[in-house]
């Protein structure tokens, strides 16, 4: 099995052990660490049949390539959680719930979005292939395992994908600081895709024009806008609130 992904840190490695231990080839741990957290991880790895190699910190530094590894690095195969958007919609439990990121290239933002998407029950995160960051080690670390549970799909033509979603009954809502309606004017109980643009630039023109509805997040203070990962979280949890409200 050829390793094609490096998992760095306790959260990323533990999450993969829970979700897909068979995809892990080797786990490298700092030989000097004998604390409870490390011993627990090693026990979980051995119980799952994974190879554990105690090594020097310098070896881990090299494997992690500058990332903060906390004394644990794993080599694994990349997981393919879904082939395409249609597969996600076909398998969705309940009304579709999607997050679309147009031009978000910062791995910390993507990792945070994936982590919140997992918590809110989002079925998939979608991004344009030419304006997106891949699932690198930073994304894996910040996502705290969510990259192994939420499908992250990159598409060649975002506007075409949004039109396909609309044809399948998904209401496409874009966030825009200049919109007259607010996020609280959205009926998020229906199948929905929230579209977030990059900080500063916002959504591209064609993306904006393809949306069914444009809304803004109310801002009461002096700051004009929220970080994209925070804005995404606000909209995703408003959707969850509406869907679970009694």
Termini Cα distance of the chain? 49
Mean pLDDT, the chain cut into blocks of 10 residues (246 residues total): 72 84 91 92 92 94 86 84 82 94 91 95 94 81 82 93 96 94 97 90 91 95 88 97 88
CA angle 88, 207, 199 (to 5 degrees): 95
Instruction: Name the binding residues for S-adenosyl-L-methionine.
Output: 197, 217, 226
pLDDT at site 1: 41
- Residue 72 pLDDT: 93
Smallest Cα–Cα separation from 149: which of 188, 131, 123, 126?
A: 123
Contacts of 199 (CB under 8 A, 6+ apart): 109, 225, 227, 228
For 24, other C-beta atoms within 10 Å of its C-beta total: 23
Write down the pTM of the prediction.
0.77
**Predicted pLDDT at 246:** 60
Distance, CA of 156 to CA of 153 (rounded, Å):
10
3-state secondary structure string across 166-231? HHCCCEEEEECCCCCEEHHHCCCCCCEEEEEEECCCECCHHHHHHCCEEEECCCCCCCCCCCHHHH
Domains along the chain with CATH numbers? 5-76 (3.30.1330.30), 85-244 (3.40.1280.10)
Pairwise CA distance, residues 20 & 38, whole Å? 19
3-state secondary structure of 93: coil
Separation CA 186–CA 176 (nearest Å): 14
The secondary structure of residue 58, as a DSSP letter, is H
Q: Give the pLDDT confidence score for residue 3 in this predicted structure.
A: 47
Give the residue ranges of the annotated binding site: 197, 217, 226
Pairing assessment for the beta strands 192-197 and 171-175 based on DSSP bridges = parallel
- pLDDT of res. 204: 92
For residue 81, what pLDDT is reported? 65
Q: Are 57 and 28 in contact (CB under 8 A)?
A: no
Tokens of 140: 């894996």
CA dihedral (134, 64, 232, 236) positive or negative:
positive
């Amino acid at each position: 099995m050829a390793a094609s992904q490096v998992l760095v840190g306790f959260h990323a490695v533990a999450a993969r052990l829970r979700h897909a231990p068979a995809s892990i080839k080797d786990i490298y741990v700092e030989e000097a660490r004998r604390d409870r957290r490390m011993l627990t991880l090693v026990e979980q790895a051995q119980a799952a049949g994974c190879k554990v190699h105690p090594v020097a910190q310098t070896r881990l530094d090299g494997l992690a390539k500058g990332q903060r590894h906390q004394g644990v690095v794993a080599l694994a195969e990349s997981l393919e959680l879904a082939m395409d958007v249609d597969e996600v919609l076909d398998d969705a439990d309940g009304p579709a719930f999607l997050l679309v990121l147009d031009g978000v290239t910062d791995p910390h933002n993507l990792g945070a979005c994936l982590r919140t998407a997992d918590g809110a029950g989002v079925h998939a995160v979608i991004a344009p292939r030419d304006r997106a960051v891949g699932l690198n080690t930073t994304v894996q670390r910040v996502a705290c395992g969510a990259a192994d549970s939420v499908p992250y799909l990159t598409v060649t033509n975002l506007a075409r994908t949004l039109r396909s979603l609309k044809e399948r009954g998904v209401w496409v809502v874009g966030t825009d600081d200049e919109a007259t309606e607010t996020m609280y004017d959205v009926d998020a109980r229906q199948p929905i895709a929230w579209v977030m643009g990059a900080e500063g630039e916002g959504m591209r023109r064609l993306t904006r024009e393809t949306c069914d509805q444009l809304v803004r997040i109310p801002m009461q203070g002096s700051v004009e806008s929220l970080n994209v990962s925070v804005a995404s979280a606000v909209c995703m949890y408003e959707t969850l609130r509406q869907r679970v409200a009694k």
